[in-house]
Each structure stands twice: as structure tokens, then as C-alpha cells.
Amino acid sequence: MDNSAATVLSPDFGNEAELQPSVKTQIQQVLDNEEIKQSQIAREAGLTAPVLSSWLKGNYKGDNKAVEAKLNQWLAARGRKAEVSMVFPKAPEWIDTPTAKKVTSVLTYAQLAGDIAVIYGGAGLGKTCTLKAYAEQSPNVWVVTMSPAHGGVASTLEEIAEVLGLRGIPGRAVRLQRELVRKLSGTGGLLVIDEAQHLNVNSLEAIRSLHDATGVGLALVGNESVYARLTGGSRSATFAQLFSRLGKRLRLNKPRKEDVVAVANSFSVAGDQEQKALYEISQKPGALRGVVKTLRLATMFAAGDNEAVQLEHIRAAWHDLGGANS
């Protein structure tokens, strides 16, 4: 007997697949150990909740192999995401920058005074994040985000009603407006319309009417065209009713150096060279949003080198994001 070929093998050699828990067992473990609902797993895996429920119980009459394949893909993707998240930091939900303080001040004024305010400027300055933070910290603040689909009065009022918890109201726009007036009256609240540049004249007038009828504070937030539409050319007469009621106006242009320092400090990046590079990035399209994305990727690069974030990591991240060509 050739002893060189005699090897002591584990009884489970060649049966690695049997050692791996079944897909069903793994899914059940996720449900038992983590805060995730069965319906969410189904949605992310491309299944319906009833199909997943039946499959887990062993009662599914359809293609079980197809269901198992989708769930196996979901488990693999989830594992990859967990690995990346260990070194790829989550973006801060909100950073209290000097610009954010200005936005908060205007929102506070509009709510306390029951007045109308306009906050406008370029993208990536933290407007939307600050609106959400203010709403979380203050009572009776409703942030309604508009889109091109909300150009008309009815769709605008429907979106506001949805945010205020008024659902399934039958009838036309006049019925919606009546119910909204009842809901808003006496609240001392603040109605914030984000992405207000998507609204037409009639929609803006309908929102102004809500303010007039209830005394609720109103903040119109969006890009430069929001304010330009209220003041420019022949349209100024069209918006005369609304413009005459504006209490505070806040124009946001580009991030200030102090804004960038606050963002950098939230990622524990305090070096002068690093902050100077981040400020230069903040002055390009993307503004503070570009700075946050760069810092997240730079942090991952630095983790790979087992170092704190250095200037070379920031430059590499900016280049990797395609910013070097902007």
C-alpha cells in the first residue's frame, strides 16, 4: 500500500453542501434574528409575500426551485452588502452646518409667525436633509415633495393630503381643499413644499389659499427658478398675490468653508490639506453632496490601507467618482 496516498479524511469530506444550511433555514434565521419583515424579503427578492409565505410553510404548489433560486440570490447579495458596509460608512442623515442653521432659522420664523418663506438655490446644499431634520424635531411640520407629476391643482392637493394622513377623499379639488383647511386650521404648524419649482401658477395659488385660510406657516423650497418665477418679467403680475405675502427669503448659492469643515469633521477628517481639497470639491457641481460621496469612498480606501483618511485617499475617491473631469 502506498502510504503517501493514505490521507485521513473527515467523514464530511465532499459533502460541503450538506453542511451549508438550506436556503429555507437561512431565510428563517434572518426572520428570527433580525428586524426585517417577511414582506420586505419577498419584495427585495422579486417575490410576492403570499408566495414566500407558502414556500416557507412547504405548501407552495408552483416552481419551488425558481423561488429558492431567487432567495439564494437575495442571500448572496445581502452578504456582499454586509461586507461592504463594514468599510463603507453610511452617509450622515443630517449635519448641522452653518447653512443648515440658516435654513432652520427661516423655517422657525415661518412656523412661529404663520408667514410664507422662500428658500431657493442650487442642488447639493443640504436643503432637503435640513427640512426633514426640522420636521423630526418640531411638532406639526409637514414636508411635501413635489415632482413634474404634481403640476396640476388636484395632484398637488392630493400629495399634500397624503402627507397629512388624509386618504381616500372622494370628489374634486375643491373637496380636497376643504378637508385640508379643516386639518390644518388651529395647528400652528408649517407646510413645507419641497421641489416647488415643479408647480404651476394654479397649484401655487391653491397652496397660498391654504395658508390664507388657516394661518399655517408655509415654506416654498426649490432651485433658483422658484424665486425667479415669482419676480421675473411678465410673470410677476401673475404671482402678485403670493409675492406680496412673502415674509422671508433665503438664497443659497455655494457651500461656505464652514459648511465643508462641519461635514469633514463628521467623518473625523480634520487636516488642513484634506479640508482644503474638500472645499475645492464643494465648489463644483454636486456641492456638499459631492463632498459626502467623496468622503464615504475615501474612508473605504483608507480602511483598505489601515489608515486614517489622507489627502491621497480624497483625491483617489474624487477621481474614482469621475469628479476629476468636472
CATH number at residue 114: 3.40.50.300
Number of folded domains that form the chain: 3
Q: Do residues 272 and 247 both lie within one domain? A: no
The contacts of residue 170 (CB under 8 Å, 6+ apart) are none
Residue 202 falls within a domain, yes or no? yes
Q: Do residues 107 and 235 both lie within one domain? A: yes
Q: Would you state the pLDDT for residue 5? A: 42
Q: Do residues 196 and 279 both lie within one domain? A: no
* Contact status, residue 180 vs residue 207, Cβ threshold 8 Å: no
The contacts of residue 244 (CB under 8 Å, 6+ apart) are none
Which of these, 222, 245, 251, 252, lies nearest to 113 by C-alpha position? 245
Buried b (16+ CB within 10 A) or exposed e, 215-244: bbbbbbbbbeebbebbeeeeeeeebeebbe
Distance CA 40, CA 189 (A): 33
Nine-digit cell at 31? 426572520
Q: Do residues 185 and 247 both lie within one domain? A: yes
Other residues' Cβ atoms within 10 Å of the Cβ of residue 25: 10
* Contact status, residue 21 vs residue 29, Cβ threshold 8 Å: yes
Amino acid letter, 162: E
Nine-digit cell at 320? 474614482
Q: Do residues 163 and 190 both lie within one domain? A: yes
CATH code, 22: 1.10.260.40
State the residue range of the domain holding 278.
257-325
Q: Do residues 237 and 146 both lie within one domain? A: yes
Q: Do residues 218 and 317 both lie within one domain? A: no
Residue 93 falls within a domain, yes or no? no
The domain boundary, picked from 252, 283, 316, lies at 252
The domain boundary, picked from 217, 237, 252, lies at 252
Q: What is the pLDDT along the chain (326 residues), one digit of tens a residue?
A: 344 444 334 444 444 444 568 999 999 999 998 779 999 999 999 999 999 999 999 999 999 999 999 999 999 998 888 776 666 777 788 899 999 999 999 999 999 999 999 999 988 899 999 999 999 999 999 999 999 998 789 999 999 999 999 987 776 888 899 999 999 999 999 999 999 999 988 898 899 999 999 999 999 999 988 777 766 544 455 555 666 667 899 999 899 999 999 999 999 999 999 999 999 999 999 999 999 999 999 998 998 888 999 999 999 999 999 876 65
Q: Do residues 57 and 102 both lie within one domain? A: no
The domain boundary, picked from 207, 233, 252, lies at 252
* Contact status, residue 208 vs residue 157, Cβ threshold 8 Å: no
Residue 193 falls within a domain, yes or no? yes
Q: Do residues 74 and 110 both lie within one domain? A: no
Q: Do residues 197 and 281 both lie within one domain? A: no
Q: Do residues 150 and 81 both lie within one domain? A: no
Q: Do residues 172 and 133 both lie within one domain? A: yes
